[in-house]
A = this chain, B = another copy of it.
Amino acid sequence: MPPETVDLLVCTTCRSATPANPLAAPDAEKRPGAELLQALQLAAPESVRVLAVECLSNCSRGCTVALRKPGAWTYVYGNLTPENHVPTILEGAQKYRDAENGLVPWRERPEHFRKNCIARIPPLEAPNV
């Protein structure tokens, strides 16, 4: 993976966090997570590698994505929908791509990212930054 490329992992199992009917959309192809994956695959620039993941284990606050790149912090974001958040996710992914260690200054993050960061993991190279 070239250094200017990031992985955007998308949980395809996610239902929305607050669906009108939590038993709706039993068809895996129509789950919000799968729809979000498709929308991001269509819209992402070449430098953002969109990858499907079966479960990111953030089921209560889906849809869920994670951003990672070598030597950087990994970030997990939640409470996303395919309808509303594709531009936000791609904006955040590109800022992450351009930020040293993946550390985008708080004020520069998309507002949804500021309020819906589920977790972050330090890079192997700097576990206690």
Contacts A7-B127, A127-B9 given; does A53 touch B122 at CB 8 Å: yes
CB within 8 Å of B: which A52-93 residues: 52-58, 64, 66, 68, 74-76
**Number of chain A residues close to chain B: CB under 8 A:** 26
A84 smallest CB distance to B (angstroms): 21
The answer to whether B74 touches A121 (Cβ under 8 A) is yes
Provide the main secondary structure of the chain A interface.
Answer: strand
The answer to whether B76 touches A119 (Cβ under 8 A) is yes
The answer to whether B118 touches A52 (Cβ under 8 A) is no
Q: Which residues of B contact A9 (CB under 8 A)?
A: 121-122, 127
Identical chains bound together, number: 2
Asked if A51 is an interface residue, CB under 8 A from chain B, the answer is yes
Report Cα–Cα, A76/B51, bound state, in Å.
Answer: 20
Q: Which residues of A contact B (CB under 8 A)?
A: 7, 9, 51-58, 64, 66, 68, 74-76, 117-122, 124, 127-129
